[in-house]
Structure 1
Amino acid sequence: MRTPRFTLLSVMLATLLTAPAAAHAVTVTATVTTTAATTSATTSGPLNAAFERAARAHDVPRDLLAAIAYNETHFDSHDGKPSASGGYGVMHLVSNPSVKALEKAASLTGQRARALQRDNAANILGGAALLRAYATELGLTTNGDIGGWYQAVARYSNASDPAVARLYADAVYATLGTGLTADATGEQIAIPAQPFIADRGAYAEAADLAALAAASPDYPNASWVPASSSNYTAASRESDYAIDRIIIHVTQGSYAGAISWFQNPSAQVSAHYVIRSNDGAITQMVRDKDIAWHAGNWTYNTRSIGIEHEGWVSQASWFTDAMYRSSAALTAHLANRYGIPKTRSYIIGHNEVPGATHTDPGPHWDWNKYMGYVTGGGGTSWSTIVDNATAGRFTASANWGTSTYSAQRYGADYRFADPVAASDPAWFKANIPSAGTYKVEVWYPAVSGYNPSTPFIVATSSGNKTVYVDQSTGGGGWRSLGTFSLTAGDHDVVGVSRWTGGAGYVIADAVRISK
């Protein structure tokens, strides 16, 4: 690429000193994803203090620690109880037959295992110690660059499959790019949206699971990552067994963690599908025809399809509308395919299986909402797509070129521009029918040389918010920027800025806004 490589410091200084005062000036603010309790929360408190102390003690970026904790547990220690894969505390320190991260953290910190399991401050310190140890073992030279920790984050996932480790690390870095403010038992944990250039190292060669949306053998909207053959029974359903049930589960852990656990031969458990919380992404792990070990009841295993949902039974924050809609669409597809009635007698929770000892999906799962989506198709009430070629809906200066280079593009072509330390955004315009909360997604072609820290601007009702997206990966499909409060009317809603420290073209292709 022909553009100079700006340092993050120079871009930040340029932003502070020369940012224009126009209505569409780029502002770097966190995307707010809070619960109703946030209004009474404080920005100080024991968790915030624990993140700061652990970051200083082990010279690890505080925001990176918080992003890992959010993706693992939404900052909830779950009273020291383990996850499905044996992870403890807000940092999910794992102890199981094949992973001894908890024990390693104990050795590194001098803390007892019980303290690491039950004490938040000790647990966060253990997570920071692990991350530092992984960086040292990998020979990483981070020099204060948050993107330089990528390979250590991938190692923190405990995934044996490099593609799943990359999936995990990409999720953590996506949180850094979007930013968030979340409530954690009375205090706010904030992670500002920030640019970064992820140094993936060898993980750059691993499969990008986000780009495998057509790889599932049974459901076109899912990726395909097979579970270990030790964790399910090969079969020929519906020849040998009829499929007449769909069983809803909650992972008691993260999306990537569940995928990794089902790949682990010692798990002795699996599910047919796993669904991500924030955007409803689906991974299939066992063929519909085969018998996943998910129900804890052999008869129900033989007759059902199991769907795992990322999250914890005790936390409502994991059960997003995107997850409900995506899962409902999958369930409706399965019901239609196998002639399963779309009623609660045939679409059941794990807790409803005879002899069940599990309580998922638990009290926070909204069955009325879910079944309404299943029977109604789970569609959106309003949606619009704006392509870069949509007449009157896209504006960009003469500095933006037009390309057909990548086959991952949406429509006939897409727009590109070099990054510069100035504001020259391309804008997508939409007629928002009413003020409210909308999901904003973007489509771009991913090329290894494209910008790893492209700023997307969303014009919200409370001002512009910036989300940083790595356009070198994860392209060729709709990628969620998050949900935002938008004002009604016909106006510029999403912009692509050229103001970034990353090298390589920034891309403006298409935007989808839905309610």
Structure 2
Amino acid sequence: MQSRLRRRAAVLLAGALIPLATPPVTAHAAPAARTVTAGATAAAFAAAAAKYEVPRDLLVALAYAETHLDGHDGEPSASGGYGVMHLVSNPANRSLERAATLTGKPAATLRSDEAANIAGGAAVLRAHADDLGLSAAARKDPAQWYQAVAKYGGAASADVARLYADTVYDLLAAGVRATTPAGETVTVPARAVQPQRGPYAKADDLDAPNTLAAAVDYPGATWAAANSANYAVSSRPSSDAIDRIVIHVTQGSYAGTISWFQNPSAKVSSHYVVKSSNGAITQMVREKDRAFHAGDYNRRSVGIEHEGYVSDASWFTDAMYRASAALTRNIADRYGIPKDRSHIVGHSEVPGADHTDPGSNWNWSTYMKYVTGSTAPTNPHTPESVCGAGYKVIDSAALGTAGTVYLLYNSGDGYNCVATLKKTSLGTATATSAYLEVQGKARVTDSGNFAYYAGPVRAAAAGKCVKWGGKAGSSTYDSPFEHCG
């Protein structure tokens, strides 16, 4: 099965950077300069973890999911979150104020001092663990902290809380290596942790593409509805022609933005949100409706939010560019929007806008090449690389323009292998399948929403006939029993 991070969110209530009005965040004086000394970040994590009996690696993974360990000089995220731990102050989440109570430190210090902010985050996380009745023995096991992590995110729904917590645990599994703005390297070694989800195991898994598939306009997207207070029901394009696509940056995390759009106090939304690490896409407003994302362009445009911060290029990955470009190309084709910079614009280019996103770190050249196909993305995988050493292609069948299904054979062990490789929507999870049936045995199928391929499906078939096939896009291939012997 192909290796990939699960379709999780790199998290928290970091909201959207596109509000029509100022987000409901408590007003403050200009932030003080961030306080940090060389090597201080790793020391601050260690000290906070020890003081509040929070697993150090879990604390770092949570912070990385929120901010990539960049406190942004005390400036708030779109939803009013501060510092590397994203301590939030808005009507729906008061983790900043709770941290001040727990640590005895002023909110101003928690916003601007990195060590204080990390301690505040650890204190809030520990308080959630205490509220859940986590014992001293249980606190030593990172797997037992899942529900506390989910609550730390302050999500508007259990589904998004699960998305938030799963992201943190995915980072634990993959490991973290981050460079702070001061140049310090902070690491978390990869470790296998089986999280104890508790009641969140019953929440919808937004990591599964096409949740409520009938609701999405783009097949590769997951559906998570924005709150009805944050968009206007409409009947576009019959009511208003759609002729623009607006590119945004969230000033926050993927799950956090999804949660913020589900909060009625936000009064902002976007049609789509794209994840940094793997290009996962969530649709939150139907294209027929007017999302509140771009002022004067709300009636005529589709808005796409991208996880990250304008000032930090590390969020803008190739996976994000490719997935977003495929989405933009799909929207443009459906509405007849020219694929040029006059019609695909940044939020900062909308008339009357007071925002800077996507900012100077957004690579428009690369993005537009992917949108127009002038540098057409190709599948980085081959049938042989999917099936493994010793396998050679002995047959194949085209699946329209969407992909090709391959049958391979390993003469060394007598095994067949089937893999379906996509040609379109590369990097975006779409329905793809591959199957292999050895005569006299049950069919084995790999079917799901995959970014690049389905398979490998292997079975011992020496001296046996096989049926094989697969699906990509709307095209399917089914062979008869063949390749006997």
Give the CA deviation at 1:380: 2.8
Change over 3 Å in CA distance of 1:332–1:47 after alignment to 2: same
Q: Which residue of 2 aligns with 1:484?
A: none
* 1:286 partner SS: coil
Give the CA deviation at 1:391: 8.7
Q: Distance in 2 between matches of 1:85 and 1:171?
A: 19
1:325 to 322, 325, 328: 322
Give the CA deviation at 1:479: 7.6
Change over 3 Å in CA distance of 1:54–1:393 after alignment to 2: farther
Q: Deviations over 1:462-498 (max 9, x none)?
A: xxxxxxxxxxxxx944489xxxxxxxxxxxxx9xxxx
Q: Which residue of 1 aligns with 2:381?
A: 383
**Is 1:53 the counterpart of 2:53 in the alignment?**
no
Q: Distance in 2 between matches of 1:217 and 1:477?
A: 14
Q: Distance in 2 between matches of 1:281 and 1:226?
A: 16
1:173 to 164, 169, 184: 169
Q: Distance in 2 between matches of 1:49 and 1:230?
A: 43
Report which of the two structures shows the higher radius of gyration computed on alpha carbons.
2
Q: Distance in 1 between matches of 2:217 and 2:165?
A: 27
Change over 3 Å in CA distance of 1:364–1:339 after alignment to 2: same
- The answer to whether the 8 Å contact 2:97/2:107 transfers is yes
- The answer to whether the 8 Å contact 1:326/1:378 transfers is no
Q: Which residue of 2 aligns with 1:71?
A: 65
Higher relative contact order (CA 8 A, sep 6+): 1
Change over 3 Å in CA distance of 1:86–1:345 after alignment to 2: same
* 1:348 partner SS: strand
Q: Which residue of 2 aligns with 1:239?
A: 238
Q: CA RMSD in A?
A: 3.5
Once the two structures are superposed, the pairs formed by residues 339-354 of structure 1 within 5 Å of their partners are 339-354=336-351
Q: Distance in 1 between matches of 2:243 and 2:51?
A: 54
Q: Which residue of 1 aligns with 2:196?
A: 199
One-letter code aligned to 1:369 = T
Q: Distance in 2 between matches of 1:101 and 1:159?
A: 12
Q: Distance in 2 between matches of 1:384 and 1:111?
A: 56
2:127 to 133, 137, 153: 133
One-letter code aligned to 1:267 = A
Q: Which residue of 2 aligns with 1:450?
A: none
Q: Structure 2 regions of 5+ residues with no counterpart?
A: 1-36, 393-404, 407-416, 420-426, 434-446, 457-485
Q: Structure 1 regions of 5+ residues with no counterpart?
A: 1-42, 395-410, 413-427, 431-438, 446-474, 481-493, 495-515
Compare 373-382 and 201-210 and name the one that shifted more: 373-382
Q: Deviations over 1:415-472 (max 9, x none)?
A: xxxxxxxxxxxxx9x9xxxxxxxx9x9x999xxxxxxxxxxxxxxxxxxxxxxxxxxx
Give the CA deviation at 1:114: 0.4
Q: Distance in 1 between matches of 2:86 and 2:376?
A: 33
**Is 1:113 the counterpart of 2:112 in the alignment?**
no
> What is the aligned length?
377
Give the CA deviation at 1:195: 1.2
Change over 3 Å in CA distance of 1:238–1:444 after alignment to 2: closer
Q: Distance in 2 between matches of 1:92 and 1:236?
A: 38
**Is 1:301 the counterpart of 2:295 in the alignment?**
no
- The answer to whether the 8 Å contact 1:44/1:188 transfers is no
Q: Distance in 1 between matches of 2:320 and 2:330?
A: 15
- The answer to whether the 8 Å contact 1:329/1:374 transfers is yes
Change over 3 Å in CA distance of 1:240–1:444 after alignment to 2: closer
- The answer to whether the 8 Å contact 1:328/1:378 transfers is no
- The answer to whether the 8 Å contact 1:325/1:378 transfers is no
One-letter code aligned to 1:328 = A
Q: Which residue of 2 aligns with 1:467?
A: none
2:79 to 85, 102, 126: 85
- The answer to whether the 8 Å contact 1:329/1:378 transfers is no
Q: Distance in 2 between matches of 1:355 and 1:313?
A: 19
Q: Distance in 1 between matches of 2:386 and 2:304?
A: 37
Q: Distance in 2 between matches of 1:393 and 1:108?
A: 60
Identity of aligned residues (%): 59
1:371 to 368, 392, 402: 368
**Is 1:158 the counterpart of 2:162 in the alignment?**
no
Give the CA deviation at 1:211: 1.1
TM-score, structure 2 as length reference: 0.72
Q: Which residue of 1 aligns with 2:390?
A: 392
Q: Deviations over 1:385-431 (max 9, x none)?
A: 5698779349xxxxxxxxxxxxxxxx99xxxxxxxxxxxxxxx9x9x
Q: Deviations over 1:279-306 (max 9, x none)?
A: 00000000000000001x2x31000000
One-letter code aligned to 1:71 = A
* 1:317 partner SS: helix
Q: Distance in 2 between matches of 1:479 and 1:332?
A: 17
- The answer to whether the 8 Å contact 1:315/1:364 transfers is yes
Give the CA deviation at 1:382: 3.1
* 1:306 partner SS: strand
Change over 3 Å in CA distance of 1:222–1:386 after alignment to 2: farther
- The answer to whether the 8 Å contact 2:175/2:191 transfers is yes
Change over 3 Å in CA distance of 1:319–1:140 after alignment to 2: same
One-letter code aligned to 1:318 = W
Q: Deviations over 1:240-298 (max 9, x none)?
A: 00000000000000000000000000000000000000000000000000000001x2x
* 1:91 partner SS: coil
Q: Which residue of 1 aligns with 2:470?
A: none
